């Protein structure tokens, strides 16, 4: 992957080279192998390159033969070889071996309809000089980020908000509604962000800028029109799709490694990758000091089974606290969990060991109903069909055994009272209610700022036509993909943490063909009673060791509030949680935060509410200091000329 950025003028002076250089420099971690620029009277483009495919001639920006089509691209088009052959047969002449050039000629051949033909993960901008227009697009599931800001008809865009801020044309200000989204869904729901005046292109959508107007549209959306019975050849179809999804994502001119958590999903991707790679497969894992979080036993078993060269980074609370400011700066959003921190350290290890591309198992839980949330939804429906039953709610104890000893009855009642089945957000109300308790710490001013805005109502109104006709689990899967996956897991925890250390993550389970296959299956093919990912387990018994194929899912967690307290408490904790600092940012009530801090320091904050609240407050303060306070400008630029500089008149 790489970083892209650009400035597009409706009128006025052309985008300046120094501004574009600063934007590229702000994305240096995404592309440390070089940078390039395009400058014209109306459009300026910047590209920071991470060399993965066509290392010799794949530098960007890239144009067609006469320079009338210019592209900057972040991501991978995995079926570029097949598309290249199709375009060559139509008469197009290629001068590189890169997947980027497929976009140039694909645009000439098919225009925006090209998007339907792409298999991959992408965010790109195409400047079409014939029409003096700029086209932006983001992949179907939002793996690659793309942010933009419009002001007086001018468009500024980039892979990260840092690039927009580095342009000098966008100021960092908090959007209270974006923050309210974070404290509802775990991430701001696209197109909203936590930066006022900055939007993100929605997954599966594109934008067309011309003459100062930006027109947005979807080219892909999720649908859950399930068949009544599982096809007789479902396992054969799944086998072909899984192997194809991994094989396409092994295409690279550098060795491809893999993350190995020890769970079913990463065990599958690692096993299939080991079969395909011409190198010794390199696998990477995190382990935790807390035995309840540690999966090293299963990681070692799979690594031994496939014969990978396995590397491990051991995580404790001190390590999480040490990197948390960098984690927030790269995520560009407040967080309610520390879980991105171990993945930041994992990508650091990966890069230090010389690997710049990894496969991950992300997406499997959303596609094949692996999360406890889906079981919880099924159990809640089951209980509410016979509300007088005393036995049915006991299923919550089986689902969450760690809750039963201290508050079983409380939690059973909580799940049953969290919403009614006719609510479009029924499946997600328990999580949203728990998360929203962070808002109890808001100041009066912050409450006023979000008055009249209900993040949940906004989501209810935004679901697509046909949503109400899907099954309860189909609706739950849609909401999970649209909220948690795109807004948090892929962005804050996945892609952004990998790219912080210049590592590209690839996601076989988010191959759109695999998603469409799984979405059309009956629910019971994926969640059979309380057995998650049923069809995936049936298929995987011949792919991974039996013990791993049948292993129940272990949720990925990391130490939250306790990570920041103890003998090695970082100085920034006291500094940023002081009453003066809390008062300055204006989001949280200093008196309430002081009480929370006291309980955390004494070790008495052991529940979800206070753990999430501490991480939320601290990360908001870190975000404020990094972006909105003005104390850290962070503006740097390159001291060397670009590797490629294309102007409207010449190329150097």
DSSP helix, strand, coil percent of the chain (3-state; round to 5) = 45, 15, 40
How confident is the model at residue 37, as a pLDDT? Answer: 97
Instruction: Give the three-class secondary structure for 401.
Output: coil
Lowest-pLDDT choice from 162-171, 386-395, 447-456: 386-395
Which H or E element spans position 302? helix 296-306
C-alpha distances in Å from residue 224, one per residue of 466, 479, 523, 598: 9, 11, 10, 47
Closest C-alpha among 137, 125, 155, 160 to residue 28: 160
Active-site residue, selected from the candidate residues 2, 270, 383, 600? 2
Which H or E element spans position 35? strand 35-39
Q: What is the 3-state secondary structure (H, E, C) of 463-474?
A: CCCCHHHCCHHH
A 10 A CB-CB count for 475 gives 21
Q: How far is CA 596 from the centre of its chain?
A: 30
CA-CA distance, 104 to 397, in Å (whole number)?
A: 56
Instruction: Give the three-class secondary structure for 187.
Output: coil
Closest C-alpha among 31, 35, 3 to residue 356: 31
Closest C-alpha among 237, 215, 200, 224 to residue 487: 200
Phi/psi-derived region of residue 98, left when phi > 0, alpha when psi is between -120 and 50, beta in every other case: beta
Phi, psi of 563, rounded to the nearest 5 degrees: -65, -20
Q: Residues 347-359: pLDDT tens digits?
A: 999 999 999 999 9
> 221: which 2 tokens?
């959306």
CA-CA distance, 2 to 159, in Å (whole number)?
A: 8
CA-CA distance, 500 to 190, in Å (whole number)?
A: 21
Phi/psi-derived region of residue 212, left when phi > 0, alpha when psi is between -120 and 50, beta in every other case: left
Q: Give the mean model confidence (pLDDT) for residues 227-255.
A: 97
CA-CA distance, 335 to 339, in Å (whole number)?
A: 9
- Spatial CB neighbours of 456, under 8 Å, sequence gap ≥ 6: 184, 425, 429, 432
Beta bridge partners of 199: 148
Q: What is the 3-state secondary structure (H, E, C) of 91-120?
A: CCCCCCCCCHHHHHHHHHHHHHHHHHHCCE
How confident is the model at residue 150, as a pLDDT? Answer: 97
How confident is the model at residue 552, as a pLDDT? Answer: 79
In the predicted structure, residue 652 carries a pLDDT above the cut 80: no
Beta bridge partners of 651: 646
In the predicted structure, residue 52 carries a pLDDT above the cut 80: yes
Top-confidence residue, 140 or 548: 140
Q: 327 with 563: CB under 8 angstroms?
A: no
How confident is the model at residue 400, as a pLDDT? Answer: 86
In the predicted structure, residue 651 carries a pLDDT above the cut 60: no
> 44: which 2 tokens?
């300026």
Q: Residues 286-325: pLDDT tens digits?
A: 998 777 778 889 999 999 999 999 999 998 879 999 999 9
Top-confidence residue, 279 or 333: 333
C-alpha distances in Å from residue 604, one per residue of 14, 139, 319, 562, 613: 58, 44, 22, 10, 14
Length of the chain: 652
In the predicted structure, residue 524 carries a pLDDT above the cut 70: yes
C-alpha distances in Å from residue 444, one per residue of 196, 425, 578, 583, 616: 20, 28, 19, 12, 18
User: At how many degrees (to 10) do helices 608-623 and 176-185 cross?
Assistant: 150
Q: Residues 23-43: pLDDT tens digits?
A: 999 999 999 999 999 999 999
Strands (E), 40-171: 43-48, 62-63, 69-77, 120-128, 133-138, 147-151, 154-158
Gyration radius (Cα) of the chain, Å: 24
The pTM for the full model equals: 0.95
Q: Give the mean model confidence (pLDDT) for residues 600-620.
A: 89
Q: 161 with 175: CB under 8 angstroms?
A: no
- The full DSSP string for 468-527 is GGS-HHHHHHHHHIIIIIIIIIIIIIIIHHHHTTT-EEE-GGG-HHHHHHHHTS-HHHH-
Closest C-alpha among 635, 609, 608, 624 to residue 575: 624
> 101: which 2 tokens?
């050039």
CA atoms within 13 A on the CB side of 651: 13
Q: Residues 13-25: pLDDT tens digits?
A: 999 999 999 999 9
Q: Residues 187-219: pLDDT tens digits?
A: 999 999 999 999 999 999 999 999 999 999 999
- Spatial CB neighbours of 309, under 8 Å, sequence gap ≥ 6: 280, 281, 282, 283
Q: Residues 60-116: pLDDT tens digits?
A: 999 999 999 999 999 999 999 999 999 999 999 999 999 999 999 999 999 999 999
In the predicted structure, residue 280 carries a pLDDT above the cut 80: yes
How confident is the model at residue 509, as a pLDDT? Answer: 98
How confident is the model at residue 289, as a pLDDT? Answer: 78
Mean per-residue pLDDT over the chain, rounded: 94
Q: Is 600 marked active-site?
A: no
Of the pLDDT bands very low, low, confident and very high (cuts 50, 70, 90), residue 636 is: confident
Instruction: Give the three-class secondary structure for 156.
Output: strand
CA-CA distance, 214 to 556, in Å (whole number)?
A: 40
Of the pLDDT bands very low, low, confident and very high (cuts 50, 70, 90), residue 631 is: low
CA-CA distance, 498 to 506, in Å (whole number)?
A: 10
CA-CA distance, 595 to 337, in Å (whole number)?
A: 20
Lowest-pLDDT choice from 135-149, 364-378, 536-550: 536-550
Of the pLDDT bands very low, low, confident and very high (cuts 50, 70, 90), residue 406 is: low
């Amino acid at each position: 992957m790489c970083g892209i950025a650009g400035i597009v003028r409706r009128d006025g002076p052309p985008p300046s080279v120094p501004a574009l250089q600063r934007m590229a420099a702000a994305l240096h971690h995404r592309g440390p192998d070089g940078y390039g620029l395009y400058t014209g009277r109306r459009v300026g483009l910047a590209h920071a390159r991470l060399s993965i495919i066509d290392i010799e001639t794949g530098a960007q920006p890239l144009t067609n033969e006469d320079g009338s089509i210019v592209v900057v691209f972040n991501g991978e088009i995995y079926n570029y070889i097949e598309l290249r052959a199709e375009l060559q047969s139509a008469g197009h002449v290629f001068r590189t071996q890169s997947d980027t050039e497929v976009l140039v000629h694909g645009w000439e051949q098919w225009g925006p309809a090209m998007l339907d033909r792409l298999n991959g993960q992408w965010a790109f901008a195409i400047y079409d000089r014939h029409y003096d227009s700029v086209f932006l697009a983001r992949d179907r599931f939002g793996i690659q980020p793309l942010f933009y800001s419009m002001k007086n008809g001018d468009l500024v865009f980039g892979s990260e908000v840092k690039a927009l801020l580095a342009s000098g044309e966008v100021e960092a200000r908090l959007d209270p509604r974006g923050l309210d989204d974070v404290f509802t869904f775990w991430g701001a729901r696209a197109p909203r962000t936590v930066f006022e005046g900055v939007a993100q292109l929605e997954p599966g959508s594109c934008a067309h800028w011309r003459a100062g107007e930006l027109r947005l549209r979807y080219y892909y959306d999720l649908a859950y029109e399930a068949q009544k019975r599982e096809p007789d050849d479902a396992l054969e179809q799944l086998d072909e799709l899984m192997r194809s999804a991994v094989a396409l994502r092994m295409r690279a001119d550098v060795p491809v490694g893999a993350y190995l958590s020890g769970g079913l999903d990463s065990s599958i991707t690692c096993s299939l990758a080991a079969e395909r790679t011409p190198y010794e497969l390199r696998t990477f894992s995190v382990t935790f000091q807390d035995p309840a979080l540690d999966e090293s036993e299963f990681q070692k078993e799979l690594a031994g089974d496939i014969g990978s060269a396995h590397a491990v980074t051991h995580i404790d609370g001190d390590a999480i606290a040490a990197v948390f400011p960098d984690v927030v700066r790269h995520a560009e959003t407040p967080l309610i969990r520390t879980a991105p921190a171990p993945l930041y350290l994992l990508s650091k290890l990966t890069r230090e060991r010389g690997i710049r591309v990894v496969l991950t198992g992300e997406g499997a839980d959303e596609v094949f109903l692996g999360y406890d949330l889906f079981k919880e939804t099924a159990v809640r429906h089951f209980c509410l069909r016979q509300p007088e039953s005393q036995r049915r709610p006991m299923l919550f104890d089986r689902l969450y055994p760690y809750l039963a000893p201290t508050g079983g009855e409380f939690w059973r009642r909580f799940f049953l009272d969290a919403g009614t089945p006719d609510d479009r957000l029924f499946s997600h109300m328990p999580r949203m209610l728990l998360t929203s308790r962070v808002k109890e710490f808001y100041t009066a001013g912050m409450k006023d700022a979000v008055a009249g805005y209900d993040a949940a109502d906004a989501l209810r109104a935004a679901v697509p036509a046909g949503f109400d006709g899907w099954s309860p689990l189909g609706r739950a899967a849609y909401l999970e993909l649209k909220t948690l996956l795109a807004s948090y897991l892929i962005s804050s925890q996945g892609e952004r943490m990998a790219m912080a250390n210049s590592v590209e993550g690839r996601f076989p389970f988010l191959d759109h063909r695999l998603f469409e296959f799984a979405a059309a299956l009956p629910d019971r093919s994926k969640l059979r009673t309380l057995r998650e990912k049923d069809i995936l387990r049936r298929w995987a018994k011949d792919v991974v060791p039996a013990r791993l194929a049948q292993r129940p899912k272990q949720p990925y967690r990391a130490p939250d509030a306790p990570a920041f307290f103890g003998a090695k408490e970082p100085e920034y904790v006291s500094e940023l949680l002081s009453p003066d600092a809390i008062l300055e940012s204006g989001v949280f009530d200093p008196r309430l935060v002081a009480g929370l801090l006291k309980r955390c320091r004494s070790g008495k904050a052991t529940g979800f509410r206070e753990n999430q609240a501490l991480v939320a407050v601290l990360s908001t303060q870190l975000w404020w200091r990094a972006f909105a306070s003005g104390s850290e400008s962070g503006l740097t630029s390159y001291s060397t000329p670009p590797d490629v500089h294309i102007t409207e008149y010449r190329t150097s």
